[in-house]
């Protein structure tokens, strides 16, 4: 049975900084979203855009990186984060009973 990875460190090809906190991000550690975090993603996606919704979800699941700092993120690095998190948002139990992300 395939198990969905619940925590993943995403190495960043293009590091970015939180100039206010003087923190440089070389990688992001993302965790499985909670139900509340997924709900916030869908609300933001409906109100603004898919990019804004996913940026919020990355902020929420990364342990507190401010959304405003994530605006500086390289788009390819963003897509790596999006790929990981979409595994949770599209997850379904397969007919055979195996728990796998839908592709």
> Tell me: the pLDDT tens digits for 13-32?
999 999 999 999 999 999 99
- 103: pLDDT strictly greater than 60: no
15: in domain? no
pLDDT at 101: 57
4: in domain? no
Domain enclosing residue 51, as ranges:
46-92
User: Are 7 and 29 contacting, i.e. CB atoms less than 8 angstroms apart?
Assistant: yes
**Whole-prediction pTM value?**
0.87
66: in domain? yes
Q: What pLDDT, in 10s, does the model give residues 63-82? A: 989 999 999 999 999 999 99
- 1: pLDDT strictly greater than 50: no
Number of domains in the chain: 1
């Amino acid at each position: 049975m395939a198990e969905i990875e619940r925590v993943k460190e995403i190495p960043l090809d293009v590091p970015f900084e939180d100039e206010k906190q003087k923190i440089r991000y070389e990688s992001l550690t993302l965790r499985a979203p909670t139900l509340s975090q997924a709900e916030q993603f869908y609300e933001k996606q409906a109100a603004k855009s898919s990019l804004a919704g996913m940026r919020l979800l990355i902020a929420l699941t990364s342990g507190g990186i401010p959304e405003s700092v994530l605006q500086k993120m390289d788009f390819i690095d963003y897509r790596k984060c999006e790929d990981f998190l979409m595994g949770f948002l599209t997850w379904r139990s397969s007919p055979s009973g195996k728990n796998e992300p839908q592709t």
